[in-house]
């Protein structure tokens, strides 16, 4: 007994992630909904709530920092901070992308290529976390790559739907996303490259879906109503996800 106690005392405790943070299909669906929601919130923030992209961006980044801090402290109990950070970061990325393409006049093609490369470079610094099915550890490198991926998703998503239309872009990008998720599940469940490829595709799809719901060129709900719709969808997806995790 003494020997067993000594061995257990000398063995370091292993930190585990909450079950809700496991990367499953429900995680990816919630991430897609949050991406579309963040797309609408970014426009809502800059156009109505905090007019001006600079003011909007500053306030969204402040929310990101607070949410990430909360997640670091409360990750073992709730993933609420994580998802608030995901939405706020996606909204902030929308503002950054609009600054790059609208204010600075950068081309959509060149900006998409540069941002895609930067996302993959940033992703190289992410560390696999096998408590999350081999997906990246949620740390500073993770959040940096996630933010750049959000900017990429806005620019590349706009590039795609400007060329083939909002409905076609939404459908095509969702099919691409589903294919990448299936390939990772079947062929390479711990692939970091596929994880970030899925994130990038998801950001593009979220841009197309969010804009399709808001734009008069498609569904035409308007930014406020579209934000309510995608926000409700995000909450429902997280509730379903939590229920599945408890099972």
Q: Environment class of residue 104 by beta-carbon count within 10 Å: exposed (0-12), middle (13-18) or buried (19+)? A: exposed
Q: What pLDDT is stored for residue 17 in this prediction?
A: 44
| % residues pLDDT > 90 (the chain) | 77
Instruction: Report pLDDT digits (tens) over 92-127.
Output: 999 999 999 988 989 999 999 999 999 999 999 999
pTM: 0.88
Q: What is the DSSP code (8-state) at residue 102?
A: I
Q: What is the phi-psi region of residue 110: left when phi exceeds 0, alpha when psi lies from -120 to 50, beta otherwise?
A: alpha
pLDDT exceeds cutoff 90 at 8: no
pLDDT > 90? residue 201 = yes
pLDDT greater than 50 at residue 16: no
pLDDT for 12 equals 38
What is the four-CA torsion angle of 40, 46, 51, 53, rounded to 10 degrees?
-170
Cα–Cα distances (Å) from 188 to 30, 135, 181, 185, in that order, read: 21, 11, 10, 6
Instruction: Quick: pLDDT tens for 208-220.
Output: 999 999 999 999 9
pLDDT digits (tens, 9 = 90+) for 123-182: 999 998 876 666 899 999 999 999 999 999 999 999 999 999 999 999 999 999 999 999
pLDDT for the residue numbered 131: 67
Residues 6+ apart with CB under 8 A from 230: 33, 36, 37, 39, 40, 209, 210, 213
Q: What's the confidence (pLDDT) of residue 54?
A: 86
Q: What is the pLDDT of residue 132?
A: 65
- Give residue limits of the domains in the chain: 23-242
Which residues lie across from 140 on neighbouring strands?
none
CA distance 213 to 161: 13
């Amino acid at each position: 007994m003494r020997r067993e106690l000594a061995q257990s005392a000398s063995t370091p405790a292993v930190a585990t992630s909450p079950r809700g943070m496991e990367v499953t299909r429900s995680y990816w669906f919630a991430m897609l909904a949050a991406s579309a929601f963040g797309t609408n919130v970014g426009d809502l923030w800059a156009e109505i709530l905090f007019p001006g992209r600079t003011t909007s961006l500053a306030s969204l980044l402040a929310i990101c920092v607070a949410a990430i801090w909360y997640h670091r402290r409360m990750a073992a109990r709730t993933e609420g901070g994580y998802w608030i950070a995901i939405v706020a970061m996606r909204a902030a990325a929308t503002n950054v992308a609009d600054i790059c393409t609208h204010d600075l006049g950068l081309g959509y093609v060149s900006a998409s290529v540069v941002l895609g490369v930067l996302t993959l470079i940033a992703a190289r610094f992410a560390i696999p976390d096998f408590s999350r099915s081999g997906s990246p550890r949620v740390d500073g490198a993770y959040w940096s790559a996630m933010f750049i991926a959000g900017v990429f998703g806005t620019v590349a998503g706009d590039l795609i739907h400007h060329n083939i239309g909002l409905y076609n872009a939404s459908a095509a990008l969702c099919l691409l996303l589903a294919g990448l998720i299936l390939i990772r599940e079947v062929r390479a469940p711990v692939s970091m490259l596929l994880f970030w490829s899925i994130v990038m595709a998801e950001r593009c799809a979220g841009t197309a879906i969010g804009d399709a719901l808001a734009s008069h060129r498609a569904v035409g709900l308007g930014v406020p109503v579209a934000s309510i719709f995608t926000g409700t969808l995000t909450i429902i997806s997280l509730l379903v996800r939590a229920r599945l995790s408890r099972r």
